[in-house]
Amino acid sequence: MKRIFSRVGYFLALGLVVLGHAVTATEVAADDDLDSAISSVTAPVIAWRRDIHAHPELGNREVRTAGVVADALTQMGLEVRTGIALTGVVGVLRGGLPGPTVALRADMDALPVTEQTGLPFASTVRTTYRGNDVGVMHACGHDAHVAMLLGAAQVLSQRRSEVPGTVLFVFQPAEEGAPAGERGGAKRMLEEGVFNDPKPDAAFGLHVVPQHETGEIAILSGGTMAGSNRLEISVRGRQTHAAYPWLGVDPIAVASRIVLALQAIPGRQMDARLPTVVSIGVVEGGIRHNIIPDEVTLLGTIRHLDPAQRDDLFARVRRTAIKIGESAGAEVSVEIPDGYPVTYNDPALTERSRSLLATIPGASVITPLPRTGAEDFSFFAREVPSLYFQLGVRAPDLAASDAAPNHSPHFLVDEDALPIGVRAFVTLVMERAAAR
């Protein structure tokens, strides 16, 4: 990974010291004009969020959303690049002061979920997904991400002369995954040169989560979200009449033993201080009650938070499945395709940003546990020092146990959190400016 920086050299490269004076977190927090600017964009941010929420689009199909974004960035006077990774949009703001290039990212895609929130701007969109008629909903909060980043772009474009360096506003498609047979997301944006001209010195992203209350900003140094890989296991036995199992090799029985054994790997074979997960989500095999089939397919996911553990974990999964198959006379194949790497927060950048974000009015910075969910911002974080943090969006009067999680048809965003997210993006950029 490309993280070989001296602490002093790194912060100089990011322009934290310009013209012999570093702007302090206190100076940024005391900016009354910035408070007013954030307040002035709150209504547009909410309007953008509600419009995008009512018109969700799946990955690689974010045509309308990309149009809304491109039009807004153009009206702000930014250089706008479209068509990156099919529907991705990048706005380029060249500031009036010397400084680094900073990338701010928001994801745009929705999920095949039928909304059940009852909101007046709830989605009624339907589409075909994997051959099925499904509802489409921003059940993960990407509508809020887009709106907050547009709000930050508007504030910063209005203060262009005070902005240090260059800001890339990256609006990414297909974070939830591209359709079958297609490529997409952060990895494809990088392949198509999103970080080539100019290359960022740092990248920032956030994700709204109901696990934290509105006003809470959760930041963790190092591995903050898991690396994720799809797991595909094929168990081939020998078909026979179910009344005479000894005449065949039962792949259902073998697959059952594999599933149970895989669950024991994280708890009994891996370092418990570094979370790992192996879960099976699909078991397919058989067509009739009295026939033992030839083959069973298992599909699942592997999650890890330490890149050094990954290869060992993969080897144990393969060995366990294959050896169980051999013990019963079955043939077992294990495939673990490339997936998402660990989302890694640069330690130096994280600690510096923690003190900055703690100055935001109405916000409090907390240290969360690592999350075993995955995020393709991780591909950006492999290229440049990065910070990915969580923004609480649970209304204060709602108990954590009653808050619907991300990806739920009941998922809600407390819109009072939106200006805090805008302020977070703006603060991370403006803090690097020279004293005025």
Q: Among all residues, which ones are annotated catalytic?
A: 340, 415
Residues 6+ apart with CB under 8 A from 270: 276, 309, 312, 313, 316
Amino acid type, 352: R
Q: What are phi and psi of 305, to 5 degrees?
A: -115, 0
How many Å apart are CA 244 and CA 167, to the nearest integer?
69
Are 39 and 151 in contact by the 8 Å Cβ rule? The answer is: no
60: left (phi over 0), alpha (psi -120 to 50) or beta: left
Are 69 and 146 in contact by the 8 Å Cβ rule? The answer is: yes
Nearest in space to 310 (alpha carbons), one of 266, 370, 279, 345 = 266
Are 344 and 223 in contact by the 8 Å Cβ rule? The answer is: yes
- In eight-state DSSP terms, residue 415 is G
Are 194 and 69 in contact by the 8 Å Cβ rule? The answer is: no
Q: How far apart are the first and last CA of the chain?
A: 37
Are 103 and 189 in contact by the 8 Å Cβ rule? The answer is: no
The torsion defined by the Cα of 362, 366, 369 and 370, in degrees rounded to 10, comes to: 70
Which helix H or strand E contains 10, and what residues bound it? helix 7-13
Q: What does the block give as tokens for 420?
A: 């805090």
- In eight-state DSSP terms, residue 55 is S
């797991």: which residue's tokens? 231
